[in-house]
Amino acid sequence: MNTQVSKFKKQLVWFDEKSYDRAVKDAKAKINALEDCINWANYHITDIDPEEFSKDMIGYFYNKLGEQKPEFKKLGIKAEKIAGLIDIDVSELSRLQSIYMNAVGLIKFVGKKPQADVDKEKYKDYTANDEENKHLKVAKQLISAIEEVQKIKQVYPVQLVNGFNRFINYNLATQEWKFNKDRY
């Protein structure tokens, strides 16, 4: 007896490109905020480790300032006082740090360089079994047929979505049809 077991292969149902692009944009905004903080600090200190700096900017700044001003350190003057003696107003760094901390993007550090930490897979949805693969195939054929009809006749998406019992959905903003996996 020759039994053939079909191996399930998941298929992409949809990719939420708009949300993905927004997450990347938010991450870039956070990286820009970090770069603004580093640029401010670079006026007063050198050799900044971006990853360590991002964890505690003010504390890191004071530690580096104390290390890089040994003439004051020999006198036993704390870094906070050193900043005051040489007219460094850390309130601007505090303001920039607040912007960085409130940025909603996610970043990671690769080789001391900040990068967007956005997993594209989080914005994709796949079929879960062979049955969904069959439904997806039918939905794609249906969508293709509807798109052909749209070229020659006006189509009313709301009525079609309801008529097919939400088997497919229509996004008014992007004017795209998609298979409604969650419905089946």
Both structure tokens of 2: 């020759």
- pLDDT band, residue 69 (cuts 50/70/90): confident
In this model, does residue 96 exceed pLDDT 70? yes
Average pLDDT over the chain, rounded to an integer? 89
Segment 44-54, tens digit of pLDDT: 999 999 999 99
Rg of the Cα atoms in the chain? 28
| Predicted local confidence at residue 7, as pLDDT | 85
- Does residue 32 have a pLDDT over 60? yes
Rounded-to-integer distance, Cα 131 and Cα 135, Å: 6
Reply yes or no on whether the pLDDT at 83 is more than 80.
no
The better pLDDT of the pair 95, 70 is held by 95
Q: Is the pLDDT of residue 182 over 60?
A: yes
- At 98 the three-state DSSP class reads helix
Percent of the chain at pLDDT above 90?
64
Which pLDDT belongs to residue 6?
Answer: 67
Question: How many angstroms separate the CA atoms of 22 and 105, rounded?
Answer: 9
Phi-psi region of 37 (alpha: psi -120 to 50; beta: other; left: phi over 0): alpha
More confident residue, 97 or 72: 97
pLDDT at 172: 87
Average pLDDT over residues 76-96: 83
HSE-CB of 77 using CA atoms within 13 angstroms = 17
Q: DSSP secondary-structure letter at 153? A: S
More confident residue, 72 or 181: 181
Please give the residue that has the higher pLDDT: either 132 or 81. Answer: 132
> What is the pLDDT, as a whole number, of residue 117?
95
Q: How many CB atoms lie within 10 A of CB 129?
A: 10
The DSSP output letter for 5 is: P
Res 179: pLDDT: 92
